[in-house]
Amino acid sequence: MDIQVGDKLTLKKAHPCGSHEWEVLRIGADFRLKCIGCGHQIMAPRSQIEKKIRQVSREAK
């Protein structure tokens, strides 16, 4: 998958705050994601996140 820093990801399962939207802060073997709803940050393995992605949105530059 072609995911870049700054992309917005919509995941299949909601965060406990109710948001499905995450912002990509770091990419590599692990992703660092920030919840758009509450600002909580997580680090998770790339393989785990790629399975949960529903949609990738890019900001126009």
Instruction: Report pLDDT for 1.
Output: 74
Tokens 């406990």, located at residue: 16
pLDDT at 61 over 70: no
Bridge-partner residues for 24, per DSSP? 33
- Dihedral angle of Cα 32, 35, 41, 47, to the nearest 10 degrees: -30
Whole-prediction pTM:
0.87
The structural domains of the chain, with segments of one domain joined by +, span: 8-53
> Are 41 and 25 in contact, with CB atoms under 8 Å apart?
yes
Strand bridging mode 41-45 / 30-35: antiparallel
Three-state SS for 50?
helix
Residue 22 has a CB neighbour count (10 Å cut-off) of: 26
pLDDT for 9-48, tens place per residue? 999 999 999 999 999 999 999 999 999 999 999 999 999 9
Instruction: Report pLDDT for 15.
Output: 94
pLDDT at 60 over 80: no
